[in-house]
Copies of this chain bind each other. A is one copy, B any other.
Amino acid sequence: MSRPAPGLRSDYVAFYSLPTRWTDNDEYGHMNNGTYLSLFDTALSLWQIDQGIAIQGPDAARFLVVENGCRYHKEAGFPDLLHAGLRIGHLGRSSLRFDIGLFRNDEAEACTEGFFAQVLVDAHGQPSPIPDSMRRLYEKLM
């Protein structure tokens, strides 16, 4: 399988530092695949909170993940300090795609890259247009 080259830090716009935990490593001594996704959604959540987008509580904007994926270039694991880079790869009417690159310690190339395709939904779970004020925030990540 031919594979795209790992992304660089300059391919991403906003960064969050995410320390690993002892229990992130599985029996193979490296970070379990599911843990990568939980680092991704932590970085996304921190960025949204920093922008003033409410993601918790009864008035939260709720983005439903409809698809995600991950490519692994190199192994990571405890006690690595990981840095998650964020970028908006697609911004539609009610959907968007977050691209995330994970960088180990001070490395220049991403060890892992993934995406979350999300749809903003209303209280009935139906797609809802992204409000202009929110759209302008996401455009900063393009």
Binding site for B on A (CB under 8 A): 1, 3, 18-19, 21-23, 25-29, 32-39, 41-42, 44-46, 49, 56, 62, 64-72, 75, 78-79, 92, 95, 116-117
Contact = CB atoms under 8 A, between A and B. Distances in A.
A38 to B, nearest CB: 4
B23 A41 contact: yes
Nearest to A46: B79
Contacts of A62: 28
Contacts of A92: 1
B1 A22 contact: no
B3 A66 contact: yes
A67 B4 CA distance: 12
A11 B32 CA distance: 27
B71 A66 contact: yes
Given A34-B35, A65-B72, A69-B70, 13 more contacts: A1-B66, A1-B117, A21-B38, A23-B42, A25-B27, A27-B56, A34-B41, A42-B78, A64-B75, A66-B72, A67-B70, A67-B71, A68-B69
A96 B84 CA distance: 29
Given A22-B45, A46-B79, A67 B69 contact: yes
B65 A33 contact: yes
B22 A23 contact: no
